[in-house]
Amino acid sequence: MQRYILQRLLLMIPTLVGVTMVVFLMVRLIPGDIVSLMAGDFGAVSPEQKQRILEEFGLHENIAVQYVRWFGRLVQLDMGTSLLSGRTVTSELAARLPVTLELGVLALLTSIVIGIPIGIISAIRQNSFADYAGRSLAIGILAAPNFWIALILIVMAARYFTWGVPPRTYVHLTEDPIGNLKMMFVPAMILGGASSGALMRYTRTTMLEVLRQDYVRTAWSKGLNERAVVTRHALRNALIPVVTVIGLGLPSLLGGTVIIESIYGIPGMGRYYIAAINQLDFPVIQGINILIAFMVVFSNLGVDLIYAVLDPRISYG
């Protein structure tokens, strides 16, 4: 197992280096002039002032030199300095990442709690009313965008109830855990509910495949009750492909927080990402993309390791 983990970590290096190249080049292709944005509403910038600003932030050199310098700092966990705020990107993300991770984890738990049980019930009650209801719910969830649901809830909350209205100020988890969870409840339900539809249908499909296997028929023929057959024999094997969806879903949920954080005024990484794009803050855009890439790569490794826990036949020795 240790040798396998070491091999995977070594294989991650060229993948992440390639990601840094793509991110660095794609950010430079965004239309707009950072110098003009930094000048604001004060009018045009003289060529001397523009050159001085470019030299101050190292933007006057060619792209290859800029990339080498930026990658050298990145290896030292230094993502650079924001062009507009003047603060380091690492410190900015360190303050905002826990907020986004909290929202993403709560949304993932919501997705699991909703998606997996309904998918299991739909499978073991195939072609029944419960199955049709679960499949219809999954299709409805997949068809409705999460930002549309969020806006509808906010409009309805403003008229009919108060618990769905976004608060004026963000409540930190360390200051008021109960108040923080109350504030995160609706955004997490929207994000998790939106992703539970796919998880629901995937769980149903894999569960049906496992229930048709010979060893499950043997368990039925031995006279075991339904709970024993489902939990001891079918569920564990059916969850192996579902784990892939869950593991790869966390980075997707973190990406989905961009719109939800903006709607509910949550000071997380997604809201900061939108502001950085609008202001062409290159170091911030690069730092957030690299961070998400790291999460995707390591979540893949985590999913592969969980396979061995769920299925003893899988060995990475």
Cα distance between residue 298 and residue 292, in whole Å = 10
**Token pair of 283, please?**
């170091």
Cα distance between residue 93 and residue 108, in whole Å = 21
Cα distance between residue 92 and residue 97, in whole Å = 9
Q: Could you tell me which residues come within 8 angstroms of residue 23 by beta carbon, excluding any fewer than 6 positions away? A: 286, 289, 290, 293
Please check whether residue 257 is in contact with residue 308, taking contact to mean a CB–CB distance below 8 angstroms: no
Q: Coil, strand or helix: which one is 311?
A: coil
**Closest to 294 (Cα-Cα) out of 23, 50, 26:** 23
Q: What is the pLDDT along the chain (317 residues), one digit of tens a residue?
A: 778 788 888 888 888 899 899 988 888 777 766 666 665 545 566 677 677 767 766 667 778 888 888 888 888 888 888 877 778 888 888 888 888 888 888 888 888 898 888 988 888 888 888 888 988 888 888 787 777 777 777 777 667 666 666 667 777 888 888 888 888 888 888 888 888 888 888 888 888 888 888 888 888 888 878 788 888 778 877 887 788 777 777 776 766 778 888 888 888 888 888 888 887 788 888 888 888 888 888 888 887 777 777 666 666 65
Q: Where are the domains of the chain?
A: 22-75, 94-310
Cα distance between residue 121 and residue 134, in whole Å = 8
The domain 94-310 belongs to what CATH superfamily?
MetI-like (1.10.3720.10)
Q: Residue 55 carries which side chain, given as an amino acid letter?
A: E
Q: Residue 311 carries which side chain, given as an amino acid letter?
A: D
Question: What is the value of pTM for the model shown?
Answer: 0.78
